[in-house]
A and B are shown apart, each in its own frame.
Chain A
Amino acid sequence: MIDSLVHVFLVLLFPPLLLGVINKTKAKFAGRKGAPFLQPYHDIVKLLRKSMVLSSTTTWVFRLGPVVSLASILAASALVPLGNSRAPISFVGDFLLFAYLFGLARFFTTSASLDTGSAFEGMGTARELTFAALTEPAMFFAFLVLARLSGSLALGGMLRSASSIAYPVGSAAPFVMIALGLFIILLAENSRIPVDDPTTHLELTMIHEVMVLDHSGPLLGIIEYASALKLFVLGSVLLDVVLPWRFGNPLFDWPIFIAGMLGLALLVGAIESLIARLRMPRVPSLLIAAILLCGSAFIMLVR
């Protein structure tokens, strides 16, 4: 019960901190002092208080987009196990719902961006839809590997069996491969470098940022929060794969989980500082690499 409360508490409050850590890391790499860790919270609160400017082209779809996407990512967050908590909602086949909830969010964010009738937002939508068609198969291959290894068809079992079952050494390689694949998916789905640059200033080169160009005030605040939440949720899936150790003791497991998430944010920040964004036509190659990694991991298991 307490674990479920911690779960909900972390899901609601923790995500913006990840953005703060990423930004701080990037600032340190650049030799700057950087904004405080809690800056994203201030930003979101400020946005929620501001008034809104709506494009006169838009309809209810534009306003509903961020709301549905937040609702569906929140629903997805209830399906992932975190730290010492098995997910509050866990059932056979929940991982499919998990994947399709992100699809629901995508349907509405892309529709909302098309609602503005802007060519730039159209470009962002086209890229988002294209890259999603490549990350999804990789994700399902990863699910196949996890389901095969754990013998479970619920996200809780798929991600958590690693601690209870002693896997043969042979399954280490598939684990490493899907961890890499999931990391690429994480970067692509959250529009981080090398797929997209969240700080770019040129509309032509953006993906996620260009789709939300016209959102302002509370709607933008919801979008910022939802994207932090998405990073948190996908990050916790990855963390469950790479950190399979559990002590069964909340005093150990929760700190390990939080430290892991912060480490992940540090890693993302370091990558953003060290490598450049890929040219747009090269991005599919990276995503196909993710498919190949996860697909080969599965082939190694079937043999």
Chain B
Amino acid sequence: MLSLYLILGGLSMMALSGLPACLIARNSNTGQGLTVALFLGGSAAGLFGTARTLGLATPPSLNLPWGLPWGSLAVSVDPVSAIFLMLIFTVPALASVYGLGYWKQSEHEKNGRRLGLSFGLLAGSMALVVVARDAVLFLVAWEIMALSAYFAATAEDDKYEVRRAGWIYLIATHIGTLVLIAMFALWRRATGSFALEAATGLPTRTAGLIFALSVAGFGFKAGLMPLHVWLPGAHANAPSHVSAVMSGVMLKMGIYGIVRMSGLFVECAPWWGAALLVVGALSGIIAIAFALAQRDLKRALAYSSIENVGVITMGLGLALLGRALGRPELILLGMTGALFHVWNHGLFKSLLFLGSGAIIHAVRGRDIERMGGLAKKMPATAILFVVGAMAISALPPLNGFASEWLLYLGFFKTLESSSVTGISLAAIAAVVLAMIGTLATATFVKLFGIIFLGSARSGETEHAHDPVASMTFPMGILAASCVLVGIFPMLASPALEAAVRAWAQGSAGTLAIAGIAPQAWISAVGAGLVAATAALALFGASDSRRRARAGNAQRRGPTWDCGYAQPSARMQYTGSSLAQTLVGLFSFALRPKTTPTRAIGHFPETAEFESAVPDPVLDRIVEPAFEAANRALPKIHVFQQGQTHLYILYVLIVTIALFIFGGLGAGL
């Protein structure tokens, strides 16, 4: 029980960490230091409490008095909650330390205190979301989380782009919440209570409807395509450490919702898993193609988050399919892979977003086509970024590979069954995951290469330098965890196995990951790979020193450009041209807009070429729809006269109408 109090205390401390700073002058950094200290204290308490729950046989739970007429203040920490709590108590803490250098109070007098307050609330409410065991409490926490994320993401609300992205987010998140309210109402109707406890014997149709609504409602938050409309804009325009938390942690609250709700049903139909597999695969492949086509660094990272959420959803789909078909090894591999990827994505994506903050801080812009050659000016950031880029491309020996490997194994395990549907779905999933992998590699080679390698494409990179220690230190911790978890994936297995058992309610059997997936070999080969590379590199270095002593040193010269003696930075390949052939292959989904002017004649006029890849849902469907609504709806203005007595009249009319309606209903 102590662990639960620690967690609750920690989350309240995090939530309120921004308050004292509001009483301190806006131009002093003391308040921010106090905020971060409180935040770290809360995180440490919470993390300690969460670690203590891991060994417990029964999850600690609590039911506190609650003033509202519905629901109850029921909280509990089971292994599934613990998985998400560990993410919530680490990544935001690192991001808040990063904020000390990145968003200095004395440099952001206008919004620093507000950002600190909303950031703390965001982290605290996320923790409350995952411990809540009552639908009403859950929704309250959910709404605080949505609103505080809005205020944190729109810190720079003097910019039009930021306000616009904020509005889109606010609308999208509330549509999602509406769906969730409908879902919980149905849940209440079906089970007779708001309590989020396992229920059996629900009618198949109701259960299916609740599941579908939960996928839709939580899908808005997780950013599943086509519900991702808010995501790229909000992530691109938020301060980078807020983007890191939104992408690394907040999106996972959507995943948590789907995991929690699907775990409440004892029986589930095969189509649930199949639907998640299809939705995840589509999200993954389309989003990574969009990420490849972006030239805004943070938009590219945001689309890649949608891709990773897609991959996680594929894992959930496999686990649900395993439950419906009664195959424990599919449940274990699918769910462990998905939850493991939740962690791993939290680590490497926040690393990359924090890295993007360091880059933006240095060059004052997000357009990668204006960067280049930063590895020489920001060597530490370059190394940290490349670790994140390799991890997210799922390359061994890093953590992205460790979790995708489990998912792949799960997909290949379905081959043993004779069910045609299962096999063909899994086959497609494995091949889609392979394709996502190569496209992710392409995306991150492009980002790393265009930003850090080659030579500078504009004067903006001239004064770039590595950021202060308070910014590199959190990134260093994240990068080190990516390597550690990548080489020793079995460290995570006990917590993940416990969560899968809690979720599967006995249908996962007593299988252990070590029994079906030999992770020790992954460590062995990973460590071998690191050792071999280090040995070769050291040998090379000593060899070149020996040569230098022998008077046979390396020489430096210009890059070979086919005999052309004056290569300039403008002649380098750009990110857009690097991606162009692949974007062309995916043009059926991406529909890139190009405005070419052809060069005609021997002495052509100045020719221009422009290309852009607009978001398919936001720019082609949602915006036109909202604009049409904007044109059509002013007709209702007739009723809105601004005169109080008219409004009272409306109230009267509606009340009478309700009386009549109710009377008719009772009479019939």
User: Which A residues form the contact surface with B (CB < 8 A)?
Assistant: 51-61, 63-64, 67-68, 70-72, 74-75, 89, 91-94, 96-97, 99-101, 103-104, 106-107, 110-111, 114-123, 125-127, 129-130, 132-134, 136-137, 139-141, 143-144, 147-148, 151, 153, 203, 213-214, 218, 284, 295, 298, 302-303
Judged by DSSP, the binding face of B is: helix
Question: Does B558 reach chain A (CB closer than 8 Å)?
Answer: yes
Counting chain B CB atoms within 10 Å of each CB, the highest count among A57, A101, A298 belongs to A57
Residue numbers in A under 8 Å from B423 (CB-CB): 148, 302
Task: Decide: B561 and A56 in contact? CB cutoff 8 A.
Answer: no
| CA A129 to CA B389, docked complex, whole Å | 15
Q: Are B573 and A122 in contact (CB under 8 A)?
A: yes
A60 / chain B contacts, CB cutoff of 8 Å: 375
- The yes or no answer to B549 lying at the interface (CB within 8 A) is no
B567 contacts which chain A residues (CB < 8 A)? Answer: 117-118
In the complex, the answer to whether A132 meets B442 with C-beta atoms within 8 Å is yes
B438 & A136 in contact (Cβ 8 Å cutoff): yes
Q: Contact: A100 with B401, CB < 8 Å?
A: yes
Other A-B contacts than A101-B529, A129-B442, A147-B415, 7 sampled, CB-CB below 8 A, are A56-B558, A57-B558, A64-B537, A89-B525, A116-B560, A139-B434, A143-B412
CB distance from B513 to the nearest CB of A (A): 12
Are B529 and A93 in contact (CB-based, < 8 A)? no
Closest residue of chain A to B424 (Cβ to Cβ) is A302
Q: Please state if A132 and B557 are interface contacts (CB–CB under 8 Å).
A: no
Task: Give the interface segment out of B315-323, B497-505, B579-587.
Answer: B579-587
Report whether A104 and B396 are in contact in the complex, using a CB–CB cutoff of 8 Å: yes
- CB of B431 within 8 A of CB of A137, answer yes
Contact yes or no, A59 B375, CB < 8 A: yes
> Judging by beta carbons under 8 Å apart, are A92 and B533 in contact?
no
- Residues on the B chain within 8 Å of A144, using CB: 412, 415, 427, 430-431
Bin chain B's interface residue count: 35 or more
Given A92-B409, A147-B412, A153-B412, A133:B435 Cβ within 8 A: yes
B138 to chain A, nearest CB (A): 37
A117 B578 Cβ-Cβ under 8 A: no
Contacts of B409 in A (CB 8 A): 92-93, 96, 153
Query: Given A111-B449, A147-B415, is A133 in contact with B577 using a C-beta cutoff of 8 Å?
Result: no
Chain A contacts for B431, CB-based, 8 A? 137, 140-141, 144, 295
**Interface residue? B261 (CB, 8 A):** no
Contact residues of B between 391 and 412, Cβ < 8 Å to A: 393-396, 401, 405, 408-409, 412
In the bound complex, CA of A95 to CA of B442 (Å): 21
Q: Smallest Cβ distance from A72 to chain B, in angstroms?
A: 6
| A132 and B521 contact, Cβ closer than 8 Å, known pairs A122-B572, A153-B412 | no
How many Å lie between the Cα of A18 and that of B529 in the bound state? 25
Q: B560, A118: Cβ atoms under 8 Å?
A: yes
Q: Please tell me if the beta carbons of B441 and A107 are within 8 angstroms of each other in the complex.
A: yes
Instruction: With A67-B536, A97-B522, A129-B445 as known contacts, state yes or no: A123 contacts B573, CB within 8 Å.
Output: yes
With A59-B453, A114-B454, A144-B412 in contact, is A71–B533 under 8 Å at CB? yes
Q: How far apart are the CA atoms of A56 and B559 in the complex, in Å?
A: 7
Residue of B nearest to A284 (CB): B585
- Given A55-B560, A144-B431; A94-B455 close (CB under 8 Å): no
Q: Is the interface of A mostly helix, strand, loop or mixed?
A: helix
Contact A103 B449 (CB under 8 A): no
CB neighbours of B434 from chain A (8 A) = 99, 136-137, 139-140
Task: Give the nearest-CB partner of A55 in chain B.
Answer: B559
Contacts A/B (CB < 8 Å), 15 sampled: A55-B559, A57-B559, A59-B375, A61-B453, A67-B540, A93-B518, A122-B572, A122-B573, A126-B582, A129-B578, A144-B415, A151-B416, A213-B560, A218-B540, A302-B427
Find chain B residues with CB under 8 A from A72 CB.
529
| Bound complex: CA A76 to CA B536 (Å) | 16
Closest B residue, CB atoms, query A118:
B559
Scoring B residues 557 to 575 as 1 if CB is less than 8 Å from chain A, else 0, what string do you get?
1111110000101011100
**For residue A57, which residues in chain B have a CB less than 8 angstroms away from its CB?**
373, 454-455, 558-559
Give the distance in Å from the alpha carbon of A133 to the alpha carbon of B582 in the complex.
8
Q: Give CA–CA (A106, B442) in the complex, Å.
A: 9
Q: Given contacts A100-B394, A107-B393, A129-B445, are A67 and B554 in contact (CB under 8 A)?
A: no
Closest chain B residue to A150 by CB distance?
A: B415
Of chain B, the residue at the smallest CB distance from A280 is B581
- A132 contacts B438, CB within 8 Å? yes
- Indicate which residue in A120, A126, A140, A303 contacts B581 across the interface (CB closer than 8 Å): A126
A97, A126, A151: the one contacting B396 at CB < 8 Å is A97
Mark each residue of chain B from 530 to 558: 1 if its CB lies under 8 Å from any CB of chain A, else 0.
00110011001001100100001111111
* Cβ–Cβ contact B450 & A114, under 8 A: yes
Q: Which of A118, A151, A203 contacts B572 (CB 8 A)?
A: A118
Of chain A, the residue at the smallest CB distance from B376 is A59
User: Are A56 and B585 in touch, CB under 8 angstroms?
Assistant: no
Q: Which residues of B contact A133 (CB under 8 A)?
A: 435, 438-439, 442, 582, 585
Q: Which 10 A-B pairs have the closest CB atoms?
A: A122-B573, A114-B449, A117-B454, A129-B442, A140-B434, A91-B521, A55-B559, A71-B532, A115-B453, A130-B581
Q: Which of B390, B395, B532, B579 contacts A74 (CB 8 A)?
A: B532
The answer to whether A92 and B582 touch across the interface, beta carbons within 8 angstroms, is: no
Residues from 336 to 393 in B contacting A, C-beta threshold 8 Å: 372-373, 375-376, 382, 386, 389-390, 393
Q: Which of B314-337 contact A (CB under 8 A)?
A: none
Shortest distance from the beta carbon of A234 to any chain B beta carbon, whole Å: 16
Q: Is the CB of A53 within 8 A of B435?
A: no
The CA of A140 and the CA of B529, in the complex, are separated in Å by 23
| Closest chain A residue to B581, Cβ basis | A130
A111 contacts which chain B residues (CB < 8 A)? Answer: 386, 445, 448-449, 453
